[in-house]
A and B are shown apart, each in its own frame.
Chain A
Amino acid sequence: MEKVIDVQHLRKSFGNNEVLKDIDFSVSKGEVVCIIGSSGSGKSTLLRCINLLETPTSGEIIYNGKNILDDKHNIYSYRTKLGMVFQQFNLFNNHNVLSNCTVGQIKVLKREKEEAEEIALKYLENVGMAQYINAMPRQLSGGQKQRVAIARALSMEPDVMLFDEPTSALDPETVGEVLKVMKDLAKSGLTMLVVTHEMGFAREVSDRVIFMDKGVIAEEGKPEEIFNNPKEKRTKEFLHRILSNN
């Protein structure tokens, strides 16, 4: 299968603390990959390195055959190809719901306002937020904000969607509405890379699960393999801890 993102020998240190130690992995077109692991294992950092919110210390990130860590590469146009959904939603507080989804299209992709609004409305309808187009972010609940954030990322029509613990800041009741949207997206064939603590979601939706521990990929494979027959001891321990809590 065609690789969209190929990460090779990626390392990231904050001072003397090496958070990512020689990571190799790739995401193919149309694939849904979930990254699981305990806090501090480096999964969020990995995701943030991929769209260069953190600058990797060394290694290569190959996007459609080109190394984006080359000096000459335009990181702004690269970032428009990756949609990012944050744990803390990060909607633009000074824009209403509709304009949150159009501002990037108009200012960065230089689309016409009407076209941008049409596209934004399509995705806002997909996430069930079309009635709220005039609402400001502070007037919305957490689940609503996250659905708008997903629509905002989708409105840029990216090749890959990155989700950084999208349900971790939500209360248990609203987690469901966001997960449902994400499941629908996964079914539609979108390429997705999801950092999550929702084991049910990872098991049900993903094509591949990556388990990270202390800055390395400890184990990866099909969800059935990881969840039913984990090979590594630390994977077993992690799953045991997580599943016994629920």
Chain B
Amino acid sequence: MSLKLMADIFINNWPMFMRGAGMTLLISMIGTIIGLVIGILVGIIRTIPVPEKGAKRTLLVIVNKLLSIYVEFFRGTPMIVQSMVIFYGTAQAFGIQMNRIMAGILIVSINTGAYMSEIVRGGIVSIDHGQFEASDAIGMNHMQTMINVVMPQVVRNILPATGNEFVINVKDTSVLNIISVTELFFQTKSIAGATFKFFEPYFIASIIYLIMTITITRVLRCIERRMDGPASFIMAGNQMQVERPEDIVYKKNKDR
């Protein structure tokens, strides 16, 4: 092992490393976003107040049961097994041919969705009850309350946990090499196989993983800070920010 060898392997194979890293980022990013959306939807449905009787109650109870089965199943089984079942299993049993990358995104998404729905549920529970009461008192229904009041606050609060999921996904997409998705681990394996070197390619891959995860954490931290804004309101601190009532009236008249 020498630094020169490591440098040589990187210089000779960097397009493969980069393509692998790109694929890893693509799958984990899309997977996390779709997972977040699934989580939010499941969270909203699971917190619909169940009426005491009627057909709506039966429907809600059934839907809630199905959702908990979904969450339990995908949280309770390894992603590597799910990949085999979803990609090769369905191909053999039902003849469904899937694009490898699409299958990868699907697996990561529904997996993340299962975790995120629990995170979102926790986020909804943590919102002050007064926010729900104020929305009720103003005449909002469950959907309006969720969209306009609760979810924006939940998304802010679960951002750290979402970042966590993103980081986990960047690392866990490596199991998709089992269905030959050309992500970073799969590419590294090919390079190692071609050069008969194991330490150097995998060491380079680990550095690339580290760079990706650290960058993601930093970027999310920035977004969080930006969403929070300043802690105090300075009325005349920056004249560009201050909009007096007169200004609004003026702007409106100008538009007419």
A interface list, Cβ under 8 A from B? 51, 53, 76-80, 82-84, 86, 88-95, 103-104, 107-109, 114, 117, 121, 124-125, 130-136, 138-140, 152-153, 156
Asked whether A88 lies within 8 Å of B130 as measured between CB atoms, the reply is: yes
Residue of B nearest to A52 (CB): B136
Contacts A107-B148, A132-B235, A136-B233 known; A90 to B134 CB distance under 8 Å?
yes
Within 116-147 of B, Cβ neighbours of A (below 8 Å) are at 128, 130-131, 133-141, 144
**B residues engaging A (CB < 8 A)?**
128, 130-131, 133-141, 144, 148-149, 152-153, 156, 229-233, 235, 241-245, 248, 252
Complex formed: what's the CA distance from A94 to B232 in Å? 15
A-B pairs with beta carbons under 8 Å apart, 6 shown: A76-B140, A90-B133, A92-B134, A108-B139, A139-B231, A153-B138
Partner of B233 from the list A91, A92, A114, A135 (CB cut-off 8 Å) is: A135
Q: Which residue of B lies closest to A84 (CB)?
A: B137
From the candidates A83, A90, A125, A134, name the one contacting B130 in the complex (CB within 8 A): A90
B137 touches A133 (CB 8 A): no
Contact indicator A104/B139 (Cβ below 8 Å): yes
* Chain A residues within 8 Å of B231, by CB: 138-139
- Known contacts: A53-B137, A86-B133, A108-B139. The answer to whether A134 contacts B233 by CB under 8 A is yes
CB–CB B144/A133 < 8 A: no
| A108-B131 in contact (CB<8A) | no
Given A90-B131, A94-B152, A117-B248, A140 and B138 contact (CB-CB distance below 8 Å): no
Using CB atoms, name the residue of chain A closest to B235: A131
Chain B neighbourhood of A138, CB < 8 A: 231
The listed residue (B131, B156, B245) touching A133 by CB distance below 8 A is B245
How distant is B110 from chain A, measured CB to nearest CB, in Å? Answer: 29
- Contacts beyond the supplied A95-B149, A139-B233: 10 A-B pairs with Cβ under 8 Å: A53-B136, A76-B141, A84-B134, A90-B131, A94-B153, A104-B138, A108-B139, A121-B245, A136-B229, A153-B137
Distance between A136 CB and nearest chain B CB, rounded to angstroms: 7
